[in-house]
Each structure stands twice: as C-alpha cells, then as structure tokens.
Structure 1
Amino acid sequence: MENRNNVTVFILLGLSHSKNIEITCFVLFLFCYIAIWMGNMLIMISITCSQLIEQPMYFFLNYLSLSDLCYTSTVTPKLMTDLLAERKSISYSNCMIQLFTTHLFGGIEIFILTGMAYDRYVAVCKPLHYTTIMSRQRCNAIIVACCTGGFIHSASQFLLTIFLPFCGPNEIDHYFCDVYPLLKLACSNTHIIGLLVIANSGLIALVTFVVLMLSYFFILYTIRAFSAESRSKALSTCTSHVTVVVLFFAPALFIYIRPATTFPEDKVFALFYTIIAPMFNPLIYTLRNAEMKSALKKVWCRHLPLEGK
C-alpha cells in the first residue's frame, strides 16, 4: 500500500477562509461542545442515579447520550483546534482513525435510535406484553447488536478507503475526514467503491429511517382508539424521539443517499449530525419529558433544604 500512497498528510479546508468567521465559529462551537458535555452528562448521571435506569426507554437514552459524547468528540475538538490554526492538517493515519471512529459512533447512534423506536412501538402497541418483551436481557442484547452493527458499518467504510491510492492533491474540502471527500482525492477509478459506499451508508440510513417511520405509523394508527389523555401521554413520549430522529437523519440522508459526490453545502449539513443534534438531544428529552424533569430534581436537588423549612 505504501508504494501507491504518496500522501502522508491531508490539508482540511475547513468551514471558511475568513479568519473572523473562523473565530466566531470557534466561540460558537466551544459553547456548543460545553453544552453537549454538560447536557449529556446531566442525563447520564440523572438516569443512572435514579429509578429511570430500570425503564427500557431511559436505559436506551443513557446509551444514546454516551454515543453522542463519543461521536461529537471524534470531530469537534479537532474542528475547534483547526479554526484557530494557520495550517489545518491531519496525518494520513489520524485521518483513517477519524473516519473509522465517526462512522463507528454514528452507526451506533443510528441503531440506538432504531432500538428506541422499537421500544416505543412495543410500549404503545403491545402494552400488556411490554415488560416481557422489553426485559433487561432483551435491552442488553439490543445494545450489543447496535454496537456490533456500528462496528460492521465502520469497518466496511474503513476497508473501502484504506486501500485507496492517494498521489496528490491532498486538500480535503471538509472539516473532518469522510469517505466522499477522500474518494474525490484518490488517484484511481472510484466508481465501484462509490457505489459500495452508497450501499453501505446510504442504505443503512434509508432502511433505518423507513423502519423508524413505519414504527411511528403503527403507533399513530394504534392510539386512534385511545382516550384523549392516553393519546396525549403516548404522543408526548414519542414526539421527543421523532424530533431527534429528524434532526439527525435528514442531513445524513442528504449526504449519503446520493451518488458519491460532494457539495459545498455538505459541510453545513454535517454540522447538524456532528454538533447540533448531540447538543439538542438533552434539551429535547428533558424539556418535553415530565419523568426526566422529576429525576433531575430528585438527583440534583436532594440536598437542598425543602421550601418552607
């Protein structure tokens, strides 16, 4: 592989060539990254230290928050460092590591969201069998399947890219290493590899999105017969998940479901699933969820003196 690969360092063109815009973006993303860590850690600690961890929905939410932290940390720190750097470079080996880890944690997140949709489907459509179907053993098996699926997806992307010859140029028109920008730089015919990438990333995103939408179609169909109060409660637990799914999947589908090509807008759309979605997930799940608010109060306010005492 070495004798066909003359590139040892890639140059990341980043989000903008304007220094003022880069400094503004750095401040914005710094606040976003702090908010991501604070929000997701708050959720993880609150769920782990309360009875919510016993409920499958929050069991999955705990792992979703962990995958959010891992996923955004593969991209955001490097992006912020590059925004202040004169030369935005990344070594070939670090580029391949970043490619592997972003798709690993991104894949895990996609599958966890699918698992959460299955949980909501069982809760609403098969309530009498819910505790039997969504046992802790089943929940653990789903998480293992999510991690395995993410690894297989990531390994496939990695293997499709690692053997590509790069002879120059070495400028990646993106703020992190992804498959499509790298295919553009390869000094060989990448048509077949491009189709395989679409079959991998594109189909996974599309199929899981369709499965998610079908689960919510069945949920909406089932709750028609519910009372107004029960219908409102069922919808409140599902709305948060649907919001997160749309925020994450819409830009991902735009990038990965089309032929292997790149557009300048890709960088903006990628911000949604690498930074924006992980930042809004804690807000979406806490602001619209009474149980989560109650758990936060119990965990974080238990040592505060009660009002009136």
Structure 2
Amino acid sequence: MIQKNTSTMRRAILAAAFLVLAGPGFADTYPSKPVKLIVPYPAGGPIDTVARGFAERLGKLMGQPVLIDNRGGANEIIAGDVTAKAPADGYTILLGTDPTFSGNKFLFKKMPFDPLTDLVPVSRVALVNMGFIVDGSLPVNNLKEFVALVKANPGKYNYGSAGAGGPTHIPMDAFARQEGLKITHIAYKGIAPAAQDLLGGQIQAMVAGSTAATPYLASGKMKILAISGPKRAKALPNVPTLAESGYPGTEFYFYLGLTVPKGTPKPIIDQIAAATRKVLTDQTFVEKTLDTFAFEPLGETPEQFAAFLVKDRAAAEKKIRDSGVTLD
C-alpha cells in the first residue's frame, strides 16, 4: 500500500513538473474562442474607431474574432473595473488610456480596483498627439501670440476640457501655471460639447485630439496653433510641434495601452503583445486608421510598458497634486 501511494505521488510530481516546463506551450491553444476588447468610450469617437480597426486586424492574426465592448463613463473606471474583475484567461483585454493607468489613482480617494496591482501591462499601443486648438476669430496665429494675448487680458478667456482631471484638462492646467496665465477652466462631459462652445465663443481654447478641429480648419472657425509629439503629424503638415513653437518641455498627449487582469498567464500576455506589434507594423492600418487621427504607433513589450508606467504615474501624481483637482 505504501509502495502504491509512493508511486502515485511520484507520478503526480512528474506531471506537475511537466506542466510547469510545458506552460509556455499552452499559449499555442489560445485563443480558442472570441476575445473581448473593453473600450472605455462610447461608439463612434476616434478611440472607438481606432479600436475597431485594431480589433479587426488583431483578430485575424490571432485566429479568433476580437469583439468590442464599449464601457464608457466614470473617467474610465467602469471599463477598468470590468477588466480587473474578469477571469484571468486572456479573453478580456482593456484598451485604456492615461486616466485608467495613471491619473485616477491620484484623482480618487477610493476606487473599486487598483490599477497598479489588478491590471497587468501588455503593450502601449499608440501615442495620441494633441492639438492646441483656439477660436478662429482670435487675433493669434501661433502659440506665443496666444500666450501673450492671455497675459495681456488676465481672466478674460476660458478654456474647455472633456472633463476635470482628464488628459484634456491636466496638461492645459500645467501649461497655464507654467506660463502664468489667468485663464478659466470649464469642464464638459466630452470633447464634442466643448468644441461646440468653442465654435459659439463661450470658450476660446482647448487641448484635444486634432480631429476635434479638422472639420473647421478650412473655414477658419478653428485654428490648431501647435501639436504635441516629437514630429509634425502627417495629417497636419503645416502645424508646428510644441517644441517648434518655443515650448520644448511642454507635453500634451495621452496614450492607448492594453492591459489584462492580474493572474493572466505570461505566455498569453506575450502572445497578445506580439500580435499587437504585428498590427502596428501594418502600414495600411497605420496610414488608414492611425494617421487619420494623428496617432503614432508604438507596440511596446509588456516590460517596456511597465517601465513607462512607473515614470508616467510619477509625472501624473505631480501634475494632479499641483492642480489641486480631486474627483470624489
């Protein structure tokens, strides 16, 4: 009896050892069913459009459909929470941005999940360059002239954002403090109503994705004075970068990144990251989808994304604490 039990235990130990050694190979069976891509914004916007193009190509590479699940609201907390509480099997992926990964941790005292520990970095997908957009009737043609105009008229002008504490607010707040501008912030529920008030004259400036202004550039109703990023956007070759405009240390951007629930097997994480890099080297996808919105492809490894987040969270904490903004 003892010999039989010993033999059984030996087989169990050998089987467990085999599973550990063969573990990475199990990623070869993934995915065996459709994958869900959580998007923290409603359908129809730039991020949703990019997400759908990305999901289509990712699904083809992975051999299973990648289905979009729009979970907008609460500064991306709803989408992040859904992802964090999903099974850690690679079938739920979050395509989030700065608020989920960096900002919310310092904007809210309590959150239903911890983005630092409950979400695992997979890849930083793209950098979203932002335009410094102003009312076309303002007597300015570059960023230096705008700064001079606001300084000469303290308290006269307003700027809008898609919501307090978000990537269209905090960078502008930091820029205003950096330049000593007395300009009033007005928070909206999304960038579309902010753009409408910019057209109506209720606000005079905003930092947003360039597509918020492109329909109005030809008519002169809006101007893009500068764009963030290390180089000019292909879609806006005549718009200078912030560095070219005389503000080399200023950053207006947010990024798209993929994360999965804590506990997702590393081989699956690596497989998703590798497929993501392949999508982002597809020039047809880049030109037709990313270039349209002035998004820059990145395709970082999980390790690169994790290292970036350490720095980004430190920067976000400082900017948010300096701004004094809290959302609860």
**TM-score, normalized by the shorter chain, greater than 0.5:** no
The structure where strand makes up a greater share of residues is 2
The structure where helix makes up a greater share of residues is 1
Q: TM-score range by the shorter chain?
A: under 0.3
State the TM-score, normalized to the length of structure 2. Answer: 0.25
State the TM-score, normalized to the length of structure 1. Answer: 0.26
